[in-house]
Structure 1
Amino acid sequence: MTKLDFAIIDPHIHQWDPYHTPHSAALLVKALGKYPAVMDQVVRWVKPKPLLETIGRTDDVLNPYLPEHYRADLGTFSAESVVHVEANWHHHKGFGVVEETTWLQQLDFNSQGLKLGAIVATADPRDRKFKDILKAHQDASPKFCGIRKMAAWHQDKGVYRWCDRPHLYQNKSFLKGFEQLAKLDLSFDAWGYSTQLLEITSLAKQFPETRIVVDHLATPVGLFGAVGKKTGKTLAQRNAIFKQWQQDIAQLAEQKNVHAKISGLMMPVLGHTYYKQHRTATIAEMVNVLTPLIQHAIQVFGLDRVMFASNFPMDKPNTTLNDLIHAYIQMIAPYGEQALYSVFKQNAANFFQLPLEP
């Protein structure tokens, strides 16, 4: 297997601890944490089916995911630094979101040979106090570098909606608040489904001075199998999803302020069902299914605006992190050694303004 002779930068991981932070499952894990099978059944009884189909396995979100867990998942690879991306902190209204930034500051990354390079927090540009919330994030941590506000909302009611309304990125109040990001030199992680790519493109056009990265290549729901009530159920549907994604993400890539994370592509919401077979995908399987996506992303964005990111532990039901990195090495290696360094390290450092170790 091909190895990397440098430590990567992983610009998209999630950290959480339901036992000690405001978390939607906090009461459940404190009451039933010693009985994981019972806890799983309770979650499947009270949570909506679309959410359960999105996460795949409940244990990955009910258990803590902290620096030591990420370090273990890295296996034989090493990470110079990581970027935490907001993880739906339960106190998510107003200044409550700043609690997550404060909490991250006290996590012991150093003991695991890791460095927290940056924090992508959350805040709602529609909030009248949006500017003050951004400044509160800055006061909470010097590592705060930008925000993510999820807009993922699918027409298929069987696909989980991570946003309270459709077309968030076109909302007038949202757009008015969004002006603050460029003024404060903050970045924006945009996440919508592939059916929303034109909305992300419109946002990028309106704010050319704002650094924007599209998460997970805009998550083409159902590309690899049936999801929700009616998405990706036939080969013809899946081919249409891919062709539309190709067209729309190429249009997004024309906006030079937009970068792309090749991440999240093993999430169950894309139609992967390896976890239902009680196994993870092999390296060869991932290379086979993901190569067309990666090749197209590189073709339209170029090798300087795409970055590998793990999205762990959200992809964990279908893959191990070690195998995922090996698969991406195989997909990127044909572009040359410099491409590997760019995709696994340099591009993330450039976008998130992280110093590189000599």
Structure 2
Amino acid sequence: MQSLDFAIIDAHIHQWDPYHTPHAAALAVKLFGKHPYLLDKIIRWVKSDDLIETIGLTQHISAPYLPENYLHDIGHYAVEQVVHVEASWHKNKGKGVIGETTFIESLPFNSTTVKLGAIVATADPRDKNFKKILQLHQQASARFKGIRKMAAVHDDKAIHAWTDEPHLYRNKQFLKGFEALAQSKLSFDAWVYSTQLNDVMALARQFPETPIVLDHFGTPAGLFAPVGKLTGLTQIARDNILMRWQEDMAELALYPNVYTKMSGLFMPVLGHQFHKQGRLASRQEVYDLASPLINHALNCFGAQRVMFASNFPMDRVSSSLVNIIDAFSDAVVAHDPNALEQVFHHTAKQFYAL
């Protein structure tokens, strides 16, 4: 296990409070928040099976996740600053998304919790008011650095779709709006499933001056075990998922404006079963599962374009943040003993201009 002698930058966390903000589970939480067992049953009844399979458990999304919660999860590790990434703010139409940026700015990020370095908000480039929405985000926070618009849609319809069309990043209206983002010198967080990595390549090709970061290594759904109805059902199928992911990541890395986040590798949609076993993955299990992916990403992108990000609390369902940092840092050092500070600090600082 590595001993990190520097404070890290966590380039991807989510903050929310379903008791006081627009949130998908807000009504259920307010009605049944004092009865966890009943709350879990209600959420599972109301929400689709594909969404439940993606998140694994409901407790970590129905409870508030605020600076003090993250501080608890980080354990003994020192964190210089964090990047909040949009978290499906429920008022997501038009200018309603500004509310999330305002909410994040109101939270107690300070010397006793953790420093907020940047906000990656959301907005839809297809919106006719997209340019104005970007300006409103900038007015709401000096830490606003860019947006994320999720585009993850899988061919397997039983895997949750996070947007309303399968190739959002190729949509003509999306691309026309995206020009405003490029002109504003803002960054873009892209999230797709691994079957859609060609769409990120097309976006990077059309906007070569815009910094783009691929979240979660492109989420190869079903890599570790079956998910949905058709994905990763056999070992041969899982080997093919890995092979295609490796090939597409290598091709994506040829675009110099594209970075990637070493994050989200323990979301249940990859096939992890730890939550069903009622336990968290150990440091060694995290290392054994994640290190081949980390090694390949570092081979393709180089340490200068790979950044650590926890994706907490989403990955909390499968392992602890301490175990993840322990194992990921071991994997980075195994690849290159000199890359640790680059991946856990410098890349994010440079990409987000922190």
Tell me the amino acid that sits aligned with residue 199 of structure 1.
D
Partner of 1:75: 75
Cα distance between partner residues in 1 of 2:191 and 2:249: 13
Deviations 1:235-291 (A, max 9, x none): 000000000000011111000000000100000000000111110111111111111
Partner of 2:168: 168
In the TM superposition, residue 322 of structure 1 has moved relative to its aligned partner by: 0.5
> Does residue 310 of structure 2 align to residue 303 of structure 1?
no
Partner of 1:258: 258
Cα distance between partner residues in 2 of 1:291 and 1:336: 12
Partner of 1:58: 58
> Does residue 216 of structure 2 align to residue 213 of structure 1?
no
State the secondary structure of the residue aligned to 1:52. helix
Cα distance between partner residues in 2 of 1:334 and 1:292: 11
C-alpha contact 1:333 1:340 (8 A) present in aligned 2: yes
Q: CA RMSD in A?
A: 0.8
C-alpha contact 1:71 1:112 (8 A) present in aligned 2: no
Cα distance between partner residues in 1 of 2:25 and 2:272: 25
Matching of residues 97-108 of structure 1 within 5 Å: 97-108=97-108
Cα distance between partner residues in 2 of 1:238 and 1:256: 29
Matching of residues 174-213 of structure 1 within 5 Å: 174-213=174-213
C-alpha contact 2:68 2:113 (8 A) present in aligned 1: no
Partner of 2:95: 95
Partner of 2:270: 270
Unaligned regions of 5+ residues in structure 1, if any?
Answer: none
C-alpha contact 1:214 1:260 (8 A) present in aligned 2: yes
Partner of 1:115: 115
Structure 1 residue runs of 4 or more that deviate by more than 4 Å after TM superposition: none
Unaligned regions of 5+ residues in structure 2, if any?
Answer: none
Cα distance between partner residues in 2 of 1:305 and 1:198: 19
Tell me the amino acid that sits aligned with residue 204 of structure 2.
A
Partner of 2:128: 128
Cα distance between partner residues in 2 of 1:43 and 1:179: 39
- Percent identical pairs in the alignment equals 57
Cα distance between partner residues in 2 of 1:174 and 1:342: 33
Partner of 2:49: 49
Cα distance between partner residues in 1 of 2:335 and 2:323: 20
Partner of 2:28: 28
State the secondary structure of the residue aligned to 2:307. strand
Cα distance between partner residues in 2 of 1:116 and 1:101: 12
Cα distance between partner residues in 2 of 1:326 and 1:112: 23
Tell me the amino acid that sits aligned with residue 188 of structure 1.
F
C-alpha contact 2:74 2:322 (8 A) present in aligned 1: yes
Cα distance between partner residues in 1 of 2:10 and 2:300: 22
Tell me the amino acid that sits aligned with residue 278 of structure 1.
G
Cα distance between partner residues in 2 of 1:258 and 1:18: 33
Cα distance between partner residues in 2 of 1:55 and 1:113: 26
Tell me the amino acid that sits aligned with residue 70 of structure 2.
Y
Partner of 1:142: 142
In the TM superposition, residue 37 of structure 1 has moved relative to its aligned partner by: 0.2
Tell me the amino acid that sits aligned with residue 37 of structure 2.
A
C-alpha contact 2:118 2:143 (8 A) present in aligned 1: yes
Deviations 1:24-79 (A, max 9, x none): 11111111000000000011111100000000010000000000000000001011
State the secondary structure of the residue aligned to 2:276. helix
Cα distance between partner residues in 2 of 1:74 and 1:81: 12
Q: Which range is displaced more, 143-152 or 175-184?
A: 175-184
In the TM superposition, residue 112 of structure 1 has moved relative to its aligned partner by: 3.2
**TM-score normalized with structure 2 length:** 0.99
Tell me the amino acid that sits aligned with residue 84 of structure 1.
H
C-alpha contact 1:67 1:112 (8 A) present in aligned 2: no
Q: Which range is displaced more, 179-188 or 237-246?
A: 179-188
